[in-house]
Chains A and B, each alone.
Chain A
Amino acid sequence: MGYVLMALGLTLVFGIGRVINFAHGELYTLGAFIAVVLVQASFPYLSTLLIAPLLAGIMGMLIERLIIRKMRGAGTSIWAPFLATLALLVIFQSLYLIIFGPDPHILQNSFGYTSIDLFSLTVMGQDALIAGVSIIVVAALIWFMHHTSYGAAMRAVSQDRDTALLMGVDVNAIYALTWYLGVALAALAGVLVTPEATVDPYIGRIVLLKGITIVIVGGLGSVEGAVLGGLMLGLIESLAGTYVSPSFKDGWGYALVILVLVFRPRGLLGQQLRRG
């Protein structure tokens, strides 16, 4: 469920910035590592939920400003930003290896292991936290996109950048905002989900794929789609994991992606694609 936030970040950056950020998984890891460092410095876990995304978002803005923006000019291939994010993936992953070493780190969270009894279901504290925060964030995001001028500007840029520019939208600022939000969301996901597992420099890749799966299934560029996609993925993974084969759990997600792409390339709620 926390992966939905991850997916949201991806879909925002793609829908508005038109870049598939391959380093997105590494930014999830960034959030997790920031939280680890903070907790080891005796910050309470709950505060990291706020601090890590805020800091990571800055990194997102930096990436946009320093790298992506440089590639917007004419004469560069459309794929340049995408390849750049690939390079960033490598850079981040190796930085994590250097700084944190290859072994997993745990994110201490006293709250997460308590169980709560809710309507005769026993829910793990962390799960409740993930669900709760995700719902709040998603709702806030949807509200923001539809009820504020910045949100409207973002939607405008995602549909037609040039017209938005002509209408006075500060497109550069919107891109910066988009990247900030996108990365902050990924980082938040990292902080939320990690206490249930561990974090190491290599998880970025798997996480990225889950994010991509959700985004493809739900539709690239659609916020609601990301939510729907996340639910579907979660469902399929648990079902398949329990009834078919636990070690192949991840594979079902990829298979789902391929299926969706073959039969309904724009995803459940995505924008119309041109014939290709």
Chain B
Amino acid sequence: MTFVATLVGLTITLTIPLWVQSNFYMYILIMGAFNAVLAISLNLMLGYIGEKSLGHAAFYGIGAYTAAMISSHFGLSGPLNLLAAFVVTTACAAIIGIPALRLRGPYFAIVTLGFVLILQLLVLNGGSFTGGPSGLPGVKRLAWTGIGGPYVFSTDIQYYYAAIALFWIALFVSIAAVNSKMGRAWLAIRENLDLAESIGINAFYYKMIAFLMGAGLAGLVGALYAHYIGFVSPRIFDTWTNVLIVAMVIIGGEGTIIGPVVGGLIMTALPELLRFAEGYRMLLYGLFLLAVIMFAPQGIVGLVADAWHKLKARSNVVR
């Protein structure tokens, strides 16, 4: 069943560009893929470990800025940028994680929030190093200059495939992690941390891994985003981005694999559908988010799963 679903998914995602003509829809697809990966990466921490990390936008931003800064200051824009983004983001996550992961619940959430804000301030005040308030424009297109000759990612379709590749990698990594012994440890930590510790699970260690994995993935997305859009600005660290990422996970359904994917897609598609109501866009987002939290705390995926169970139960009775 899952195999079939994966095959279908792969086929769809790999062939969509053939159907889509306009740049606008391509943009949505690409951002959708990015957002899905972001949601997956946050879900590791949020859904599986159960700790609300409010600073995820930080890692996205660090990745984007690292790539952009390398492009600006060194003129490079190859896989090195992506690797650097991954490394830098993970390193930052380790640094902030060491003190932060010892904290629980609201305290952890607040520290991560504080982290994003300090980062934004640093970037705003970084002068020409970080581009200051106006950000860094002119990020070069992603380019491969090794064997096989220079290959430049200049069209949307190319970025789309790069994004999709990242998406599938993220999905598989996340599935593998969740189904491993480590994944069980994460669940144990989420359900009952003291009990987990008492039977030998080093909570700090496992939390750190989830945190680093999530951060690294987010950093990669950020870097890819930077090369795609062509510029970065401090607005990437705004509360809005943060809330958006959290919203994607919650709306889709935390603690599940497809949940964040669904959430990511919905939250990407929604603003475009609501484009007509420009000023009201955020308002509707907020209301939507509130409604989901209040009435469907398990997210859309949870809602569907519930409905599915109810349908099955009913059909059994009828029989």
Contacts and interface: CB of A to CB of B under 8 A. Distances in A.
Contact of A91 (B106, B109, B246, B283): B283
A98 B279 contact: yes
Secondary structure at chain A's binding surface: helix, strand, loop or mixed?
helix
A94 B117 contact: no
Contacts of A255: 114, 118
A66 B246 CA distance: 23
A265 B103 contact: yes
Given A90-B243, A91-B283, A94-B283, A265 B107 contact: yes
Secondary structure at chain B's binding surface: helix, strand, loop or mixed?
helix
Residue of B109, B193, B285, B293 most packed against chain A (CB within 10 A): B293
A80 B293 contact: yes
B172 interface: no
Contact of A87 (B99, B121, B281, B286): B286
A82 B280 contact: no
Contacts of B290: 67, 84, 87-88, 91
B289 A90 contact: yes
Contacts of B229: none
Contacts of A216: 107, 110
Interface string B270-293: 000000000111110111011001
Interface in A94-111: 94-95, 97-98
Interface stretch (A48-56, A70-78, A152-160): A70-78
13 contacts: A80-B294, A90-B289, A91-B286, A91-B290, A94-B282, A205-B239, A212-B110, A212-B113, A255-B114, A255-B118, A258-B115, A261-B99, A276-B104
Interface of A: 14, 20, 67, 70-71, 76-77, 79-80, 82-84, 86-95, 97-98, 205, 209, 212, 216, 220, 245, 247-248, 250-251, 254-255, 257-258, 261-262, 265, 273-274, 276
Interface of B: 52, 99-100, 102-107, 109-111, 113-115, 117-118, 121-122, 124-125, 193, 239-240, 243, 246-247, 250, 279-283, 285-287, 289-290, 293-294, 297
